[in-house]
């Protein structure tokens, strides 16, 4: 979950559903889905001859469907392609919450788009997400994250793309992701060092519920904020795994209460039911409770029955 600041509002990113912008039927269903964020894809899922139609679909959709409870991200084509400039112009026009850049290899891929958005007078809260899906992207993850946190940059989030990464390296998809775990953790280290977030890669076999459950659990244990999804049937599982459960919320509230006691005002460690808890755990507890509060607020705003927390 992102930190709270005027230009970087805290967001829920447990479930990030990718939807082809060319698929009008899928776009129409979004308001009824319980995902935290939506990636409107203009890149891989849209054929070259359909790019212009996909942009028109998004123009009509944003005019009619604001989706107030969901973070909205538009994935554009690379600016070096024949479509990237038109995609970025559409982003400036529609002003989603973020633009997702494909195949980010080096810091300049982010800073150049940030500069273009500033030149176009795009609002400061229009943020940048970066797809880390190439060997160079993995190797340069820390440098990309560092550059993205400089003054004037808009970088908020990394999204890991294992499909392209596997294609370029020859690593086969296997349960447990054994051979790509070091790369995933390298991304987590980079975002953690520079105050960003990371979204775990898609799971392609959406009918394999058991393996998807396991991969979500693995992503949580690694430190990812959420998971990029390719099918609505994956939303509930992602929300459940990446959202705090009742036991974790209760423990976090107990930690906050313990440090709120007058006797704890000058203490860095307190005794909580026979367990020593440090003040750094207070920071973690406050973040978790804030995340739970955001989930409550989103369900209240959407008037949707709560099922995942």
Q: Which residues are annotated as a binding site for substrate?
A: 75, 133
* Distant-in-sequence contacts of 283-288, Cβ < 8 A, 24+ apart: 284/252, 285/251, 285/252, 285/253, 285/255, 285/256, 286/252, 286/256, 287/1, 288/244, 288/248, 288/249, 288/252
Looking at residue 232, the DSSP 8-state letter turns out to be G
Do 10 and 157 touch, CB atoms closer than 8 A? no
How is residue 144 written in tokens? Answer: 């990309």
Q: Which residues contact 208 (CB under 8 A, 6 or more apart)?
A: none
* Cα 265 to Cα 116: distance, rounded to the nearest angstrom: 47
What are the binding residues for Mg(2+)?
133, 164
Do 69 and 302 touch, CB atoms closer than 8 A? yes
User: Which bin fits 243, alpha (ψ -120 to 50), beta or left (φ > 0)?
Assistant: beta
* Cα 152 to Cα 111: distance, rounded to the nearest angstrom: 9
What are the binding residues?
75, 133, 164
How is residue 69 written in tokens? Answer: 């409870």
Cα 86 off chain centre by: 24
How is residue 106 written in tokens? Answer: 């080096």
115-140: b or e for each residue (b if 16 or more CB lie within 10 Å)?
A: ebbeeeebeeebbbbbbbbbeebbeb
Radius of gyration of the chain, Cα coordinates, nearest whole angstrom:
20
């Amino acid at each position: 979950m992102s930190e709270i600041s005027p230009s970087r509002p805290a967001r829920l990113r447990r479930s990030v559903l990718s939807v082809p912008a060319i698929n009008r039927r899928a776009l129409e269903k979004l308001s009824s889905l319980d995902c935290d964020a939506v990636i409107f894809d203009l890149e891989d899922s849209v054929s070259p001859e359909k790019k212009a139609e996909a942009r028109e679909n998004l123009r009509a959709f944003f005019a009619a469907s604001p989706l107030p409870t969901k973070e909205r991200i538009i994935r554009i084509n690379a600016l070096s392609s024949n479509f990237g400039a038109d995609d970025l112009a559409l982003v400036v026009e529609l002003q989603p919450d973020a633009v997702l850049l494909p195949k980010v290899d080096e810091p300049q891929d982010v800073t150049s788009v940030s500069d273009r958005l500033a030149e176009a007078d795009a609002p400061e809260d229009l943020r940048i997400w970066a797809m880390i899906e190439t060997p160079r992207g993995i190797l340069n993850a820390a440098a990309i994250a560092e550059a993205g946190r400089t003054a004037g940059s808009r970088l908020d989030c990394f999204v890991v793309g294992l499909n392209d990464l596997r294609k370029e390296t020859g690593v086969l998809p296997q349960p447990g992701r054994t051979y790509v775990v070091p790369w995933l953790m390298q991304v987590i280290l980079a975002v953690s060092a520079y105050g960003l977030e990371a979204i775990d890669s898609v799971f392609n076999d959406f009918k394999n519920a058991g393996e998807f459950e396991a991969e979500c659990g693995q992503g949580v244990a690694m430190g990812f904020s959420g998971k990029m999804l390719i099918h609505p049937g994956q939303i509930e599982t992602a929300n459940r795994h990446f959202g705090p459960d009742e036991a974790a919320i209760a423990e976090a509230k107990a930690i906050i209460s313990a440090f709120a006691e007058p006797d704890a005002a000058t203490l860095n460690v307190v005794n909580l039911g026979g367990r020593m808890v440090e003040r750094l755990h207070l920071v973690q507890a406050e973040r978790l409770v804030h995340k739970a509060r955001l989930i409550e607020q989103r369900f209240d705003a959407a008037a949707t029955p709560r099922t995942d927390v």
